[in-house]
C-alpha cells in the first residue's frame, strides 16, 4: 500500500497550498452536485476532468480528484458493477483536456481555445454515452442487434443531460478560471 501512496504524496507535495484548497473545494462541489437533486447525468465530473487535463494539473493529482469525488458520492448513492467503466470514461477527459484542449505546453485563451473546450466536452460526452451504454448492453440486454438498439434507444433521453451538463460545467470552470486569471486592463483610480 505504501508503494501506491508514495507517488501520490510526491505529486501532492509539489502542489501549492492554494491549489490544494482549490482541489478540495472542487471535490466538495462535485460531490454536492451529485448528491443534491439534479437531472440524470447532469454533473460536473467530466468537465472537472477536462479542466484538470487542460490546466496541466499533475495527472495523478487530477485523476485522484475525479476518483475521490466519485468514490465519496458513490458511497452515499450506492456502488454498482459498472463503476470501473464509468470512472474510466471520466478519466479519459483528463487526456482529452491535456491533448485536445491544451494542445501544447501552455493553455492559451482565445476563440480557438473556446472551440477546443466545446469540442473536447462534446467528445467526452459522446464517448461516455457510447462506452457506458455498451457496458449496460453487455450486462443487461440480449446479445443481439435488437438488444443493442434497444439499449441505446433507451439511453438517448439521458444523453441530452450528459451533453448539457458537460458543456455547462465546462463553461463555468473555464470561464471562472479566465475571470480569475485575467489581468485588469482598466486604470485604477484612487479616491482623494
Whether 92 is covered by a domain: the verdict is: yes
pLDDT of residue 107: 72
pLDDT of residue 123: 98
pLDDT of residue 95: 94
Domains held by the chain: number: 1
pLDDT of residue 192: 45
- 136-142-143 Cα angle (round to 5): 85
As a whole number, mean pLDDT of residues 80-101 equals 95
State percent of the chain over pLDDT 90: 61
How much is the CA Rg of the chain, to the nearest whole Å? 19
Q: Which of 2-11, 107-116, 162-171 has the lowest mean pLDDT?
A: 2-11
Mean of pLDDT over the chain: 87
Tell me the residue range of the domain where 143 lies: 19-28+40-177
State percent of the chain over pLDDT 70: 86
pLDDT of residue 122: 98
In the numeric block, which cell numbers belong to residue 19? 491549489
pLDDT in tens, 16-47: 777 778 788 889 999 999 999 999 999 999 99
Whether 1 is covered by a domain: the verdict is: no
Whether 64 is covered by a domain: the verdict is: yes
Whether 145 is covered by a domain: the verdict is: yes
pLDDT of residue 181: 77
Whether 2 is covered by a domain: the verdict is: no
Cell 489581468 belongs to 183
Give the single-character DSSP code of 55. Answer: T
Whether 172 is covered by a domain: the verdict is: yes
pLDDT in tens, 126-177: 999 999 999 999 999 999 999 999 999 999 999 999 999 999 999 999 988 8
pLDDT at 10 exceeding the cut of 70: no
Whether 35 is covered by a domain: the verdict is: no
* Ordered DSSP codes for 4-24: HHHHHHHHHHTS-HHHHHHHH
In the numeric block, which cell numbers belong to residue 48? 472537472
As a whole number, mean pLDDT of residues 68-90 equals 97
Whether 4 is covered by a domain: the verdict is: no
Amino acid at each position: 500500500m505504501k508503494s501506491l501512496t508514495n507517488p501520490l504524496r510526491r505529486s501532492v507535495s509539489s502542489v501549492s497550498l492554494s491549489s490544494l484548497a482549490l482541489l478540495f473545494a472542487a471535490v466538495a462541489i462535485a460531490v454536492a452536485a451529485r448528491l443534491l437533486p439534479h437531472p440524470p447525468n447532469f454533473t460536473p465530473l467530466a468537465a472537472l476532468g477536462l479542466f484538470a487535463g487542460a490546466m496541466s494539473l499533475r495527472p495523478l493529482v487530477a485523476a485522484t480528484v475525479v476518483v475521490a469525488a466519485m468514490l465519496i458520492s458513490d458511497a452515499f448513492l450506492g456502488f454498482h458493477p459498472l463503476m470501473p467503466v464509468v470512472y474510466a470514461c471520466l478519466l479519459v477527459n483528463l487526456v482529452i483536456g491535456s491533448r485536445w484542449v491544451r494542445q501544447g505546453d501552455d493553455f492559451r485563451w482565445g476563440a480557438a481555445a473556446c472551440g477546443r473546450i466545446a469540442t473536447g466536452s462534446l467528445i467526452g460526452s459522446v464517448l461516455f454515452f457510447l462506452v457506458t451504454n455498451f457496458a449496460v448492453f453487455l450486462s443487461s440486454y440480449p446479445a443481439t442487434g435488437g438488444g443493442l438498439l434497444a439499449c441505446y434507444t433507451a439511453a438517448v433521453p439521458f444523453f441530452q443531460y450528459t451533453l448539457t451538463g458537460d458543456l455547462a460545467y465546462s463553461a463555468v470552470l473555464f470561464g471562472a478560471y479566465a475571470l480569475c486569471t485575467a489581468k485588469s486592463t482598466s486604470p485604477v483610480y484612487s479616491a482623494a
